[in-house]
Amino acid sequence: MPEITAESLTWAIQKAGESFATNELAYLALTSKPEHAVRDRMAWILHNGLPGCIAAREWSPNGDRARSDLAVLDASSHKPSAVVELKAAYTFDFAHDGQRAVDKYVRMVGSDLRKGSAVGGSGTRIFSLLLLTHPMSAPVQPTPVVKYGPEIARSLCERSAADLADAARETAVSRLSEMGSVSEGTLPAGTAFGVEVAIKYFLVSVD
């Protein structure tokens, strides 16, 4: 079975982003958090793209409640080569280091890494994938369909979308690097409700 690395998962993340229909990911990210949608596409891509592997969603070695979002298993032995946990937030959640949302999500990533280690066991690579939805403007027409519309509007009153993205990236990389190696990138998501959206991702790997 091939070794699962940050590079192979980054490939799957990018392919997942490309697999959505035009503007679909923007719609999903603005109406709810998109971690399950991205996880499901990643699983399908890994399942079909890695010979000798099975990608399992909501995986547990014993079928108990401690389940991982995504695991890559040896097709013959069903032993895990990698476990990936996912979390999703917004760039405005990471706009200022030290704010409550940053601490909350960093704790959640740390908890996911510990859970992955416990579930995967010895010899399993452990990853946590943080997705940050980044709207590049506020909705023109207020609508309850955009889940965090007021928060988006407030965050873009304080600074430009580019400055917000830079601040969120700096905070995310700084805090997540305390837990492991960080690979990062951007998934263009398209436009929904008149708002152009990107998904910033940060993949934490524990050696």
CA neighbor of 89 nearest in space, from 116, 43, 57, 129 = 129
Q: Could you give phi then psi for residue 38, rounded to 5 degrees?
A: -70, -40
Which tens digit of pLDDT belongs to each residue from 105-159? Answer: 999 999 999 988 888 888 899 999 999 999 999 888 666 889 889 899 989 987 8
> For position 109, what pLDDT does the model report?
96
- Max CA separation in the chain (angstroms): 54
Question: What pLDDT shows up at residue 65?
Answer: 66
Q: Closest by alpha carbon to 128, among 67, 202, 45?
A: 202
pLDDT of residue 64: 67
Q: Across residues 154-178, what is the average pLDDT?
A: 94
Instruction: Return the amino acid letter for 196.
Output: E
The band of 101, judged by pLDDT with boundaries at 50, 70 and 90, is very high
The 3-state DSSP class for residue 64 equals coil
Amino acid at position 2, single letter: P
155/189 Cα distance (integer angstroms): 20
Higher pLDDT among residues 2 and 148, named by residue: 148
pLDDT value at residue 141? 67
For position 29, what pLDDT does the model report? 97
Closest CA to 177 of 196, 203, 146: 203
Could you report the per-residue pLDDT of 9-64, keeping only the tens digit for each?
999 999 999 999 999 999 999 999 999 999 999 999 999 998 889 999 999 887 66
pTM of the model: 0.94
Please report the pLDDT score of residue 98 as a whole number: 66
Query: Which residue blocks in the chain are alpha helix, DSSP H?
Result: 6-19, 24-31, 35-49, 100-120, 149-158, 161-176
What per-residue string of b and e applies to 104-137 under the rule 16 or more CB within 10 Å gives b? ebbeebbebbebbeebbeeebbbbbbbbbbbbbe
Q: According to the model, what pLDDT value does residue 205 have?
A: 94
Cα distance between residue 61 and residue 187, in whole Å: 31
From residue 99, give the alpha-carbon distance in Å to each of 7, 26, 103. 31, 26, 7
